[in-house]
Chains A and B, each alone.
Chain A
Amino acid sequence: MRVSAVVRSEVMPEYRFVAEGFEDAVRKFEEQKPEAEVKTQFVIPEKDFNTAGKGSSELKNLLKRLGVDSVVLRRIAVASYEAEINVAAHSKGGIMYSTVYDDLIHVRFEDEGPGIANIEQAMTPGYSTADDLVRELGFGAGLGLPNIKKNSDAMRLVSAAGSCTKLEFLIYFAKIS
């Protein structure tokens, strides 16, 4: 069974997703916080669609050098690129933090707002609040967040109108047996 739900916490609405079979691994990761192998950080400026994507591109090259399987690499690249485009398209700018561990990657995006009014709606394929500039580029199909979810083993989105948005995902380098 896939676990996904919008949790109305006291702090901020949150969307969590853990892919089938990864529940124990994700719980263990969150509890134990293993030591990172490599950390990188990229600034994503508002509405700068040439800079957005650099972080994902560098990350992809780094993981390729580390020998990550090409199918997994593609999932990481797509999820991370979609998230970078989201930050550039919808926020006042933000930062992408990548942390490479022995067996997985953790990528976190934090922006400067203005936040997501309705997370459930934002997660619905086809729903988009993108402006004309973003749509002219061919983004704004309302598939960004669904694509991130589809390619992740775990994902968490925390946001509210008037706040910053935090998005993070985990992708394991090998299938959990």
Chain B
Amino acid sequence: MIKLSEYIAAIDGENHTPALDPDEILISGAYVSDMLSDVMGSAKPEQVWITIMKHLNVIAVASMTGIPAIIFAKGHAPDAAVCDKALEESICLISSKHETFDLAGTLYKLLGK
């Protein structure tokens, strides 16, 4: 497990939900998918979700699945309504300019896998 803040630093991430402290969120891995039902079927709590989807339903999916943070790849940034909803659900939203492959690889390395 590592702190989400360590991962954010490693991927030059931007926190779109600054009210949530990434120092307090522990993560054990990631699930990478843009299909929402696939995420609900297979992602586990304590995993971040790496995706390029950034509409409102993404927050609902993360909330139902128990995902603590979403990492938006390739510079995709969520709009204000999505950020507000995420705050309500205590889900941390991070965007990074890096591509999905690199985002997953960086976390893999950080976790010492």
Are B56 and A143 interface neighbours, CB within 8 A? no
Which residues of chain B are within 8 angstroms of A97 by Cβ–Cβ distance? none
Of B40, B53, B57, the contact of A78 (CB 8 Å cutoff): B40
Are B38 and A143 interface neighbours, CB within 8 A? yes
Known A-B contacts A70-B66, A137-B55; the reply to A53 vs B60 at CB < 8 A is: yes
Give chain A's interface secondary structure class.
helix
Which residues of chain A are within 8 angstroms of B111 by Cβ–Cβ distance? none
Are B64 and A137 interface neighbours, CB within 8 A? no
Are B38 and A74 interface neighbours, CB within 8 A? no
Give chain B's interface secondary structure class.
helix
Complex alpha-carbon distance, A97 and B58, angstroms: 24
Which residues of chain A are within 8 angstroms of B63 by Cβ–Cβ distance? 57, 60, 77
Size bracket, chain B contacts: 10 to 19
A residues 68-127 touching B (CB-CB < 8 Å): 70, 74, 77-78, 80-82, 85
- Chain A, residue nearest B37 (CB): A143
A139 within 8 A of B: yes
Complex alpha-carbon distance, A143 and B57, angstroms: 16
- Chain A, residue nearest B89 (CB): A57
Number of interface residues of A (CB under 8 A): 24
- Chain A, residue nearest B56 (CB): A50
Of B38, B53, B55, B64, the contact of A141 (CB 8 Å cutoff): B38
Complex alpha-carbon distance, A141 and B58, angstroms: 15
Which residues of chain A are within 8 angstroms of B34 by Cβ–Cβ distance? 138
- Interface residues of chain A, those whose CB is within 8 Å of chain B, are 49-50, 53, 56-57, 60, 70, 74, 77-78, 80-82, 85, 137-139, 141-144, 146-147, 150
